Structure 1
């Protein structure tokens, strides 16, 4: 039993995971691997954004197949135990499990990094197979071939987690990265001792190889392949189950809602359109009894800006539309995420999809959820290079204050400010473009409100509804947009379609919101090229 060969580490980590209150049983993934083990010589690579359960899955696979650790105490109570062939595969194989992101101690060069891994794995092999002559051996591949020559049943399952870690390290040069690909090729490709090679990471593996080094892998990404999708991230049904556990827990008072969970952490999609929630954020919010930026907190807002800083002009207008909740057509090339200099619009958005900052569905990209939108919002208010988007976003606190106080002159002034810029969105050929600008000038409102666009209310769909989140006594806002009509017509629509019903609780339940309900109409006259605003209090909850 060594550090990489038949280690105990994965068993301990996965056992701990199964004991957590918000554990989700994904063990049926194992049944999909059984046929691959039977075939032998299979190579699969599953890539997902950070914190989507890749490492938990890698630990589960190691724990199940690893012949040195009896895992019956873990798996007998999981779904996989119902598979009739479960026992035939459990704890039957030698497993080499390398978490490439586990440095153990600081590394200052690629040779140091890969040298430690090779040295430790060789030591593990020599300790496990003392009767095989490996004296003086320095190649892991040669050592494994010697083992197979001595015992023709010695075939290994490889579990390689975060395979792409090296590509994000400053100590690795371009030449080092090529050498790393050669290391993987020499270790795995066409090797008879490989029973199954299971690799995970963020970046697509074969696409990083310019030749045939790693072309034996079949890749499964969230955007391009449906297979295995249900095992990474949480489905609607799984999130429902976890929220029910939360509701039945001893936590008091409870600050989360299922609706809020969807707004904050939903938004990713598999190729077939199945909705996927960010698992780390869902679990952390349930444990903390609070909505927050739990996934993106591991990387600051400038991590998002990194992808666009070299060519802001190519994506600036698209960002404005996505902030407005409008999906933008783009061709996603997942291999583009590996480019060192992201220059084109397609390369930039492709990288952001691969890393999880955007989601991709039906040929369009969009910002997945409130958690990511908050990070984009911070970026828009801190980066002057974003031009008109930055200038409008900086006015957003003044816009909210003017709305709450009924100062329509200031509201018009801020909207007209857009005409002093190069804002291409302001052709206003449709309300979608006006919607994008309105989103920008109300960015600051997201600190205190949950803002829903095209929200069902009364007998129709309101353009925007602002739900107070930090103070339930704060004013509620219903905002309707009109191009080629008056703000009075917008307010009349709010009244006629009874949008204010959205703020009333169900019969017999206490009122959720007790502040005023403001009807806000914003219009744009194409001929006069002027904005108009009107605000009316349609209900006063304090009366």
Structure 2
């Protein structure tokens, strides 16, 4: 019997270990077909974003050219025009999920350490004939995290690394940035958002905007930070959110994939229970299951539970619930009765404006995975969505996290329990 890949986010480890595997490699085909220069995927936490990014790195990375782990997967049957890209590019894979500690100075120092660790993966650049002596000194300073390496050096670090790799290999670079918005969410919660967004705007622009060394880039996150605040001037950005039609089955499990897993594990009789508890997400018409919770369910011997607890950064939601108006509390109570509410939602979030628009909370709840979009239509003000709690797991978490915050703020006084 295969083990469930609890916490396994490295694609090679997943394939080479004795883990149950849902083959999502045709995502690579879709990426190559789209030819988007920069693509941002926003999905709830624990829907397989990091594993997908690891898969992209494993497929495209020039250092894995001789790997055969894709030979029996779906992408291998898609055609030579796709497999010819395997192992052809230098790849930069940076995770931002851990860049959150203390105040601005501590977070900035942590980012320097994360970038230094990234640079140490490319030790050959310090001796490359394609790199100038000054660039080699810069490389060593960043790699070692020297104290005298500056704010400007860090701003330029990803862009410079992509350029050095391009000249070393003679092939343009693929850039993968996982959880790109994690430092910004943390900074907003802790009160140093202005400083952090100013830095991150420059940090990302240097590698994503007008970079001749860039083949393409992929970013993942929970929220799309509005273009005006961080992606200003980036005209080559494609957004694929929970309401976008493209890639709508790439993250999470489809009903067919869950049925296949249940059959392989000889638990077909559990499908109705799985559907009640972990199905119900609607990514632009695609009915999706929470992959993390399905895996946990089978690992725990088909025991139902709210496995998604403590997987989301909910500081923003807690702030928005404090001092909640009675009208909004009634809407949330309506959701707890398995009813829908109609609200304006948007793909982009400008943190400075959070709290000014009473519907911002619902955009956050939708993108964070607490609500699903039953129906959506465009209107003069953007998009109006009919929103609903997706399943029993989220109903349980909704009551625990959302209503608990409402009660602590006094917003639920007078409502039915």
Q: TM-score range by the shorter chain?
A: 0.7 to 0.9
TM-score, with structure 1 as normaliser: 0.62
Q: How does 1:328-407 map to 2 (within 5 A)?
A: 328-336=341-349, 338-339=351-352, 341-362=354-375, 363-378=385-400, 379-380=402-403, 383=407, 385-388=410-413, 392-393=416-417
Tell me by how many angstroms 1:136 deviates.
Answer: 3.1
Decide whether the 8 Å contact of 2:207 with 2:214 is kept in 1.
no
Query: Distance in 1 between the 2:221 and 2:200 partners?
Result: 15
Query: Distance in 2 between the 1:12 and 1:48 partners?
Result: 16
2:291 corresponds to which of 272, 276, 279 = 279
2:211 corresponds to which of 186, 191, 198 = 191
Q: Tell me the secondary structure at the aligned position of residue 44 of structure 1.
A: strand
Q: Relative to structure 1, is the Cα distance of residues 22 and 135 closer, same or farther in structure 2, using a 3 angstrom cutoff?
A: closer
Q: In the TM superposition, what whole-angstrom CA distance separates every residue of 1:76-99 from its partner, at most 9, and x where no partner exists?
A: 121111122243111111100001
Say if 2:212 is the partner of 1:212. no
Tell me by how many angstroms 1:34 deviates.
Answer: 2.5
2:79 corresponds to which of 54, 77, 84 = 84
TM-score, with structure 2 as normaliser: 0.79
Q: How does 1:62-461 map to 2 (within 5 A)?
A: 62-70=57-65, 72-85=67-80, 86-102=82-98, 109-125=106-122, 127-128=124-125, 130-131=128-129, 132-133=131-132, 134-137=135-138, 138=153, 139-140=156-157, 141-142=159-160, 144-145=162-163, 148=166, 150=167, 153-170=170-187, 172-207=192-227, 209=229, 212-223=232-243, 225-247=244-266, 257-271=270-284, 273-289=285-301, 290-298=303-311, 305-336=318-349, 338-339=351-352, 341-362=354-375, 363-378=385-400, 379-380=402-403, 383=407, 385-388=410-413, 392-393=416-417
Q: Name the counterpart of 2:32.
A: 34
Q: Tell me the secondary structure at the aligned position of residue 169 of structure 1.
A: helix
Matched length: 370
Q: In the TM superposition, what whole-angstrom CA distance separates every residue of 1:145-165 from its partner, at most 9, and x where no partner exists?
A: 4554x5682310111111111
Decide whether the 8 Å contact of 2:27 with 2:247 is kept in 1.
yes
Larger Rg: 1
Larger mean CA deviation between 371-380 and 339-348 belongs to: 339-348
Tell me by how many angstroms 1:239 deviates.
Answer: 1.3
Tell me by how many angstroms 1:371 deviates.
Answer: 0.7
Larger mean CA deviation between 233-242 and 334-343 belongs to: 334-343
Decide whether the 8 Å contact of 1:52 with 1:278 is kept in 2.
yes
Query: Distance in 1 between the 2:414 and 2:85 partners?
Result: 56
Q: Relative to structure 1, is the Cα distance of residues 342 and 20 closer, same or farther in structure 2, using a 3 angstrom cutoff?
A: farther
Tell me by how many angstroms 1:276 deviates.
Answer: 0.8
Query: Distance in 1 between the 2:299 and 2:50 partners?
Result: 20
**Greater RCO, 1 or 2 (C-alpha within 8 Å, sep 6+):** 2
Decide whether the 8 Å contact of 2:91 with 2:173 is kept in 1.
yes
Larger mean CA deviation between 176-185 and 203-212 belongs to: 203-212
2:42 corresponds to which of 21, 40, 47 = 47
Query: Distance in 1 between the 2:316 and 2:226 partners?
Result: 25
Q: Relative to structure 1, is the Cα distance of residues 298 and 152 closer, same or farther in structure 2, using a 3 angstrom cutoff?
A: closer
Query: Distance in 1 between the 2:231 and 2:70 partners?
Result: 41
Query: Distance in 1 between the 2:174 and 2:111 partners?
Result: 20
Q: Name the counterpart of 2:20.
A: 22
Q: Name the counterpart of 2:54.
A: 59
Decide whether the 8 Å contact of 1:101 with 1:162 is kept in 2.
yes
Q: Relative to structure 1, is the Cα distance of residues 221 and 365 closer, same or farther in structure 2, using a 3 angstrom cutoff?
A: same
Unaligned runs of 5+ in 1: 1-10, 249-253, 394-543
Q: In the TM superposition, what whole-angstrom CA distance separates every residue of 1:204-234 from its partner, at most 9, and x where no partner exists?
A: 14536366243421110011x1111111111
Tell me by how many angstroms 1:309 deviates.
Answer: 2.3
Unaligned runs of 5+ in 2: 1-7, 139-152, 376-384
Q: Tell me the secondary structure at the aligned position of residue 362 of structure 2.
A: helix
Query: Distance in 1 between the 2:283 and 2:13 partners?
Result: 29
Larger mean CA deviation between 374-383 and 344-353 belongs to: 374-383
CA RMSD, Structure 1 to Structure 2 (Å): 3.0
Decide whether the 8 Å contact of 1:206 with 1:215 is kept in 2.
no
